[in-house]
Structure 1
Amino acid sequence: MITGELKSKVDKIWEIFWTGGITNPLTVIEQFTYLLYIKGLDDREKKREKDNEFLGIEEEGLFPKDKPQLRWSNFSNMGPEEMYRVVSQEVFPFIKNMGGKESVYAKYLKDAVFVIPTASLLSRVVAGINALPDTTSSQEKKDTLGDLYEYLLSKLNTSGTNGQFRTPRHIIDMIVKLMKPTPEDTIVDPSAGSAGFLVSASEYLRENHNDMFHVQGLREHFNKNMFHGFEIDNTMLRIGAMNMMLHDVDHPNISYRDSLSEQNKDSEMYTMVLANPPFKGSLDYDSVSDDLLRVTKTKKTEILFLSLFLRLLKKGGRAAAIVPDGILFAGSNAHKAIRSEIIDNHKLEAVIKMPSGVFKPYAGVSTAILIFTKTGAGGTENIWFYDMKSDGYSLDDKRSPVEENDIPDLVERFENLDRETVRKRTDQSFFVSANEVRENDYDLSINKYKEIEYKEVEYEDPSEILKGIEKYEKEIQDSIEELKELIVGVNNES
């Protein structure tokens, strides 16, 4: 999420678009994002040039050397008319065909259209973007482009109802830290959106496994085969791809695909699933892949996605998924079937209950995180529960930073589960045996197992309490009489 200076500057750019004649919010978002991407390509190229110079490497860059005007750092200093000509007639066609028609860059931007109508408007928007804090440099460790897009989407009336809002970045980072991706992993998000999970995983690997980039095979795997995302919204598809490329993943596998349909044939291809699939949704059976319905026949998307995760994973692969609370305890046959499938036929590791305000201001839905491993042969013995009460932000629509934050404790405890065996049901985290869960109809709600510790409170004898009340009442009456005498005295003197 973005706040303070960045938020006010983005608002100012939004206002520039509107006063300049572009009043469709989706059009504003698209044009704004294209320009951020164009700037990001130049920022990224400058970093590569600096690194190559330091290492003494000669490498062909993204931009042709004989056309310096294509780079943001050059055209952003031109006069309005010249800038408009260069961007509309040279820069935009260039980025749509960069690397050739079959390149990864052209793949995602082939349908992009430049619609900023005047030189004056373009000049003002470019100046506004130049005034933003660093948002597109690949040196930036935060997914600021994604945060910007999330904030822009919040300006749409439909942003909270059509599913086009991102999982809060600190929640994404928390999940990635829990899962600890490795250089050998192949990671997929079947509802990728702006690719927040994939971006966070790439950053985690850079911070914790930087030596992998000195190994040819691992470096190539990172850039070409490690990250996969599916998305059915073309705008989100472009955002996700641009986001990954601006975070130095050269060839992200972000593709247009309805993950739940027969169109998606992927099976046992990935070692890790990171996802926050759509909660609200009900599909016709005809539009759902038959093998997903074999696990549990349902129209509910949140159940179907869990079934999909099991199909996508290789044996030994792990998944971390945000689910609505209903998945944990709802009594329908479909809900029970997916819970028993994960517990009995695979290995459910953890159920993390999150506070209901995590997705505000977009939605107040109560959610949890399920972490499980695909085994095909069971293996669930004890399930770890954690009752997360605060995520470092207020749980109202403002989502202001607060001191209370369970995330560090949660991550530390999950990394040391062997120490959790001594925890009691009255604690914030504890283990529950799989057999006990089965006996409770596969109910995974934490309140089913959490014990509340009642402390005995000793009160005074009622007769003593009554004496105290009488004493205070007498003191009040005496004070009232004194006040009356004072008032009478004052009146007599006057």
Structure 2
Amino acid sequence: MLQHNAELKSKINQLWDKFWSGGISNPLTAIEQITYLLFMKRLDELDLKKQLDAEWTDEPYKSKFEGKWVPPELRSKIPDNASELEKIDYRANDEKKHGIDRRGLRWSQFNKKPAEQMLEHVQTKVFPFLKDLNGTESNFTHHMKNAVFIIPKPSLLVEAVKTIDEIFVIMEKDAKQGQNFQDIQGDVYEFLLSEIASAGKNGQFRTPRHIIKLLAELVQPKLGDKICDPACGTGGFLLGGYQYIVTQLALKAGTKDLIPDEDGFIRTSVASTLTPDAQAILDTSLFGFDIDGTMVRLGLMNLMMHGISEPQIDYKDTLSKTFEEEGQYNIIMANPPFTGNVDKGDINERFQSGTTKSELLFMENIYHLLRKGGTAGVIIPQGVLTGKGKAFQFIRKQLIERCDFKAVISMPSGVFKPYAGVSTAILIFTKVWGPKEKISTPATERVWFYDMERDGYSLDDKRIKKEDFGDLQDIIYQYNGYISEEHSQKQNKEWDRTKKCFAVPFKEIESEGYDLSFNCYKEHTFDSVEYESPLTIVERLISSEVGELSEKDISKIESGIVRDLLDLRGMISEQ
């Protein structure tokens, strides 16, 4: 992994330094511009690889850099009633007049140009081609419409291109030593994203990758599931779901060379074991929404660089009146914004909690977005578990009674450092009753609690990797064991509530006002300790000071620490 590769990490830091000294000091802006360059490089390499594969297998493949490209603004407006032959003539004429040779848009071609020519070429030809990559009607092109290439200096572009080429050489070398190239690329991209070191507006911040992997292990998405994150940011949870599915399919196909990562998880992004049908299903299974246009673009490119050809990430406010989706998704994995209030006049009318708090509205929204039988894994602040207000209790009651509320996993406050120090928890629940259905019996019989004390990293701002996995793998083991017991009808098991995990029946949770905090149900034990009497302690101190002196000799001592101890002994003896 990246933190163990000093050479690769050093090159990425060099890239950051070049952008900083080149006048692009905003981390998010720098990431966006670096992402465009990484995308150009990877696009060229993937295309060349597919060409070679096609030559080897004799299967047809049309390169993205074959023929001529006409910028959208120079394309003729083809009449709706034009025949197919007329459309071909229109396009041929456009190419003859305005066409740009696609071969010159390759990274491996333009990176040889002199500095001034390179900057102009990328600004006026390569980047517009990139924005138009998937065709005028594609989701990617739609969200790239307002993207801007703002690298201002030829020298900065040349240095950035050179450094990225060096990064890819190191990545190729590591891939030859056994690690999957796409996994290394993912590490590089995640390291870049980790440089967004402060919470954004609306309380957005990155979820650590090992926590995403843990959550995916708990909800266990399958091929064919529609997976959603209603506040997706850079798409980390969607990528986590994709990688979990690809890994499970690879293991089922007999792949033997996958080894656990530093957190104990087995993961791969490489879809070589997928059939074309399975890949097509995965490509249309991931759905994300965000209200930040930059995040939407980063999310799209993040998933595309991991082999997902057309991610369904969109610019939408899923809490607003204009968002009408209901009961669409099998799996929801999310870490919605924790802080902030939503404009009351724009809140979707289907929400019944009567609050403007974003974390509560997202919880209600996730319930609505799930299909019946669908499962959610959501990270929330601890306050949602214990809040006494009507809205807090309404949300918890709704989720516990209308869903099979499976688990609450409390996490230590340092998990999200350096972004935030707030204590958080993972909630796992499966939708049973729809919002308009009358409940005949509450869907939850009991809730499983786990108190995560360690996540395998230091809980300070540095977040240094520890030698062990913390509680991560134990959580998966204990949770799977609990679910197996539930399925085998061992519901009446007596749980030791002095331990770090146990289950609590619905009736008890109901009697506690639907409080979902671990400490509300934990039983604390206190060990009895016997202490020596004060007189015995004083006698021992006197003995240590004067040794074998007789009481007569001791009585002659008029001052000092021994005299004070003798006086103290006399006062204690009188009581």
TM-score range with shorter-chain normalisation? 0.7 to 0.9
Indicate the larger mover: 315-324 or 140-149. Answer: 140-149
Indicate the larger mover: 373-382 or 60-69. Answer: 60-69
- Residues 1:465 and 2:567 aligned together: no
- Residues 1:402 and 2:444 aligned together: no
- Residues 1:227 and 2:286 aligned together: yes
**1:141 — aligned with what?**
183
Q: Which amino acid aligns with 1:221?
A: I
Following the alignment from structure 1 to structure 2, what is the Cα–Cα distance between the partners of residues 160 and 206? 31
- Residues 1:285 and 2:370 aligned together: no
Which of residues 305, 313, 318 is equivalent to 1:246? Answer: 305
**Mapped contact 2:2–2:188 kept (Cα < 8 A):** no
Following the alignment from structure 1 to structure 2, what is the Cα–Cα distance between the partners of residues 262 and 399? 40
Following the alignment from structure 1 to structure 2, what is the Cα–Cα distance between the partners of residues 44 and 163? 36
**2:145 — aligned with what?**
110
Following the alignment from structure 1 to structure 2, what is the Cα–Cα distance between the partners of residues 55 and 76? 30
**Mapped contact 2:363–2:395 kept (Cα < 8 A):** yes
TM alignment of 1:446-457, pairs within 5 A: 446-457=518-529
Alpha-carbon shift at residue 216 of structure 1 (Å): 5.1
Alpha-carbon shift at residue 38 of structure 1 (Å): 1.5
- Residues 1:173 and 2:232 aligned together: no
Deviations 1:412-460 (A, max 9, x none): 1112214594541011111111111001111111001111222223344
Which of residues 308, 314, 317 is equivalent to 2:371? Answer: 314
Which of residues 96, 110, 129 is equivalent to 1:94? Answer: 129
> SS at the partner of 2:371?
strand
Which of residues 211, 234, 237 is equivalent to 1:194? Answer: 234
Following the alignment from structure 1 to structure 2, what is the Cα–Cα distance between the partners of residues 259 and 215? 33
Alpha-carbon shift at residue 331 of structure 1 (Å): 0.3
**2:19 — aligned with what?**
17
> SS at the partner of 1:392?
coil
> SS at the partner of 2:157?
helix
Deviations 1:28-53 (A, max 9, x none): 33222211221222343344445545
Structure 2: state its 5+ residue gaps: 68-100, 254-270, 434-438, 487-492, 550-575
RMSD value, Cα? 2.7
**2:454 — aligned with what?**
390
> SS at the partner of 2:108?
helix
**Mapped contact 2:374–2:431 kept (Cα < 8 A):** yes
Following the alignment from structure 1 to structure 2, what is the Cα–Cα distance between the partners of residues 109 and 264? 22
TM alignment of 1:355-434, pairs within 5 A: 355-376=412-433, 377=439, 378-404=442-468, 405-417=470-482, 418=484, 421=493, 423-434=495-506
Residues 472, 43 of structure 1: alpha-carbon distance in 2 compared, 3 angstrom cutoff: farther
Following the alignment from structure 2 to structure 1, what is the Cα–Cα distance between the partners of residues 423 and 23? 40
Which 4+ stretches in 1 moved above 6 angstroms? 135-138
Q: Which amino acid aligns with 1:134?
A: M
Residues 52, 391 of structure 1: alpha-carbon distance in 2 compared, 3 angstrom cutoff: farther
Q: Which amino acid aligns with 1:14?
A: W
- Residues 1:441 and 2:498 aligned together: no
Q: How high is the TM-score relative to the length of structure 1?
A: 0.88
Q: Which amino acid aligns with 1:68?
A: R
Q: Which amino acid aligns with 1:152?
A: E
> SS at the partner of 2:416?
coil
Deviations 1:339-370 (A, max 9, x none): 11111122100000000001101110010011
Alpha-carbon shift at residue 466 of structure 1 (Å): 3.2
Deviations 1:51-108 (A, max 9, x none): 5455443222333266333222333344434433432232112111113212344223
Following the alignment from structure 1 to structure 2, what is the Cα–Cα distance between the partners of residues 416 and 52? 47
Alpha-carbon shift at residue 139 of structure 1 (Å): 3.4
> SS at the partner of 1:188?
strand
Alpha-carbon shift at residue 327 of structure 1 (Å): 0.7
Alpha-carbon shift at residue 162 of structure 1 (Å): 4.6
Q: Which amino acid aligns with 2:162?
A: A
> SS at the partner of 1:369?
strand
Q: Which amino acid aligns with 1:412?
A: Y
**Mapped contact 1:325–1:368 kept (Cα < 8 A):** yes
**1:485 — aligned with what?**
none
Structure 1: state its 5+ residue gaps: 478-494
Alpha-carbon shift at residue 160 of structure 1 (Å): 5.0
- Residues 1:72 and 2:107 aligned together: yes
Residues 218, 458 of structure 1: alpha-carbon distance in 2 compared, 3 angstrom cutoff: same
Following the alignment from structure 1 to structure 2, what is the Cα–Cα distance between the partners of residues 199 and 47? 23
**2:79 — aligned with what?**
none
**1:57 — aligned with what?**
59
* Aligned residues between the structures: 471
Q: How high is the TM-score relative to the length of structure 2?
A: 0.76
> SS at the partner of 2:287?
strand
> SS at the partner of 1:208?
helix
**Mapped contact 2:228–2:329 kept (Cα < 8 A):** yes
**Mapped contact 1:181–1:204 kept (Cα < 8 A):** yes
> SS at the partner of 1:128?
helix
Alpha-carbon shift at residue 200 of structure 1 (Å): 1.2
**Which of structures 1 and 2 has the bigger CA Rg?**
2
**Mapped contact 1:146–1:196 kept (Cα < 8 A):** no
Following the alignment from structure 1 to structure 2, what is the Cα–Cα distance between the partners of residues 2 and 161? 29
**Mapped contact 2:375–2:430 kept (Cα < 8 A):** yes
Following the alignment from structure 1 to structure 2, what is the Cα–Cα distance between the partners of residues 455 and 5? 52
Indicate the larger mover: 433-442 or 162-171. Answer: 162-171
**Mapped contact 2:207–2:416 kept (Cα < 8 A):** yes
Alpha-carbon shift at residue 245 of structure 1 (Å): 0.9
Following the alignment from structure 1 to structure 2, what is the Cα–Cα distance between the partners of residues 322 and 208? 24
Give aligned-pair identity as a percent: 40
Indicate the larger mover: 256-265 or 7-16. Answer: 7-16
